[in-house]
Structures are given as structure tokens and as C-alpha cells.
A = this chain, B = another copy of it.
Amino acid sequence: MAEDEKLAQRGGIGELRHPAASEPAPLRRASLEEAIAWLDAHGSTLPPEEIGLGEAAGRVAAAEVISPRPVPAGDCAAADGFALRAAETVGAGDYNPLRLSLLEPAAESGGRPGALPPSSAAPIVAGAVLPPGADAVLPFDLAQEKGAALEVFGAVPEGWGIARQGRQLQAGARLVERGRVLLPQDVGLLAWLGIRRVPAVRRPRVRLLVSEPKARGANSFDANGPMLRALVARDGGVVAETGPLAAGPQEDLRTALARALSTGGADLTLVAGRSGRGWDDAAAKTVAELGKLAMHGVALRPGGSAGMGLLGSEPVLLLPGDPLECWSAYEMLAGRLIRRMGGRSPELPYAVREVEAGRKIVSAIGVVDLCRVRLEKGMAEPLGPAESGGLASAVRADGFVIVPAASEGYAPGARLEVYMSPGGVRTQSNSER
């Protein structure tokens, strides 16, 4: 909300002086670059696991997969037709049909077909190995069955209608690269070759500690738990939840984090809420006491009270309790860590569209601004003051622009990169009501 942003401009949430004497000295607010460098240093790709093909689509290949054999495995029919000797079709034409003996379709029992007798043709299905002696496959439209005979209405050259061994894939060919996000057709190709399990990067297990909203009463529903679960799933993680934290004494948070430390079962921890510098904002203090607090406060808006550190060797991220700030800090920090650990591209999973600024975009120097914009006639416009507040602004926006710390914003007409919201249908703006 605008009031929030005015307050933040006067010092930044990460730098607010806290009244309690027991509070550790305020940390210097880290730049977004520093925060990202820390995340990248602590977000190594997780080890691989073998998974079944049925769950492979969308997963990341942890190693390259090699074709165990050539495809086709031997010379075979490229399409349904009649296997024959090409030399025996010479001279055939629409007005000069030649006759061959028509064999019965081979039993579909696999194995090698018997040799083709001279002056005969054998029905064959696409992909089947040619009978010895045959050197071409006559297509249906050049043939007509006549009882036990086949009339041939055209000549085909040797090799016609035959797919050669290894034509599609040679033995040892790389089927998928390491790091590839497996597509449905990749799954199909592996299945086709009889490969039933693939090495995939293990999905990051995310411990989610969500604080109850500070202000009780009519507005006291938790947005962050459901939102973070959906965000973690989007980025390929698995949530290992530990239940909500009461917004109360530090002991709750300490107990939850200490239990997490002792039980394991996750690769990283997200603490949502209690990251600020208010009375019960004990997240940073608790991490500092139980592990190592690397930074608290990032020059990012919204999301400035984010922090990060280690519990043992496991990264822990502090996300603001305000849902918009939480969303922004997840997108800019936590999501990157989860994607990296899962072997995915660390970049934001949004399509980027280059558009012109339709109105001036204002940003403070020294802070990276995640500015929610709407596209109007193909131009990006920041949401107006009446609608830029709260999580609703992230729902209303068509996307967002990341204004670097060194920039005061953009003049109308500037070229912007907009991270496009994939929601499809746009939600009504406040001003349209």
C-alpha cells in the first residue's frame, strides 16, 4: 500500500530502528546482487534419483540418456504395404499390371520372418523387419489384391519404402541431455526404446513454517501458506510442512526451527512472517541463535524484510508476513534457490515481453523495485495508487517490471522487459469498477 511504500522510502523496512533493547544491531541491508550471490552459493543441484517414466514429464534429467540400440533395429518397412523384390516390379504400370503370389500376412508373433519365395509378395506392417529376399515395400496405391495374387501397377526401386537400421537413432545416440526438463515426447521416445526408469534431479523438499497473521480479527486468514505451496510446486519443489506458527512468543519459532534441525527431511526451510522488526518478529534473531544469519533486509521492494542464513548446512529463508511482500521475496529469492536445487534454470519462470512504458514509472535509487504493471494498448503502465496496494496488485497486474537499484525509473516511451503473468484472463482493476 502507498503508506507502506512511503514508510519504506524513509528508511526501508530492513533498517527500521527497533525499540527493544535486546534486539541485535540492525544488519546492513544487502543488495539484491549480494542476496542472489549468497543463494547461488548455497543452492547446489540436489543428487539424482531413479524415477518411473510415468512421473518423468516435467522433471529434470540428472544425466544424459543414451539409446540402447539403433532405431529401426534393422531394415524394416517404413509404412504398411507389400514386401517384395524391386526387380520383379520392373515394367509394371497402370495398363500393364504384373502378378505376384500373395503370401498370408505373417503371424504377429515377433521373431524373424521366413524368406520370401521368388515371384511373391508378403503383406507387411510399418516397423516390421523385412523378410530375407525382399528389398522394397510396395505401397497400397500401387497394388490390388486378387485372391491369392497381387496385381502390381507400378515399379518401385530397390530400397523403396524401407527404413534403414539406425535411420532415426543410432545405438549410443544421446536421447536427452543432462539438465533437460523432460517433455511428453521425450517420455514417449524413452518408452518406445523400452527405457522404464530415468535419472532425475531429486525434487527439493521445502519445510514451510508459516506464521499466523499478526493482526487478528476479521482479516486474520493466512494467505502465505496456500500461496507458497502453489509457488513451491510451480518451481518443482515438494512441501514438507510443519504446520503454522502462532504469532506469539519467540519460543514457538525456536521450537519449530530446533525440531526441524534435529529431524531433517527437508533441503531448505522457508519461514514466512515474523521477519520484520516488530515486537514478535523473532525470525532473524532465532536463526542467528540456532544457526548462522547471513543477511536480514534486502534492498528489494516489496519484500525488503527478507533474510537468509543457514541452519546446520541447510539454507533457511525469511520471507515477510505481508502477502504481497512475501510473494515478491519468494519470486526474487526463494524461487531461485528452489529452482537451482532442482536443477532448473534459476531465471524467473515468466515469459518476458519487451514493451514500451505508457506512463512514467517511478522508483527509488538504491532499491530494486518489482513494479506491477498493466498492459494498455500494448504499453506498460504502473498500477495506479488506488490499486498498487497489497497482494491484490499482484493479481490485478498483467506482469511486472524489475527496476534496478541504480535506476530512478523509466520515462514514457522507454523499452521495458515485462515479466508476463501467465494467468490468461485479466482480473478487473480497481479503476474499472
Contacts and interface: CB of A to CB of B under 8 A. Distances in A.
Interface string A2-16: 011001001101011
A114 interface: no
Contacts of A19: 140, 143-145
Contact of A16 (B72, B125, B139): B139
A141 interface: yes
Interface of A: 1, 3-4, 7, 10-11, 13, 15-20, 53-54, 56-58, 61, 69, 71-74, 76-80, 105, 108-111, 123, 125-129, 139-141, 143-145, 160-163, 167-170, 173-194, 213-231, 233-234, 247-248, 276-279, 281, 321-323, 326-327, 344-345, 351, 386, 389-395, 421-428, 430, 433
20 contacts: A1-B163, A3-B79, A3-B160, A10-B141, A53-B226, A71-B219, A71-B390, A73-B219, A108-B216, A126-B322, A128-B216, A177-B428, A181-B425, A183-B230, A189-B223, A189-B395, A190-B226, A191-B221, A192-B222, A344-B424
A389 B226 contact: no
Contact of A392 (B11, B56, B71, B141): B71
B188 A323 contact: yes
B161 A7 contact: yes
Contacts of A326: 188
Given A7-B78, A175-B392, A127 B227 contact: no
B227 A185 contact: yes
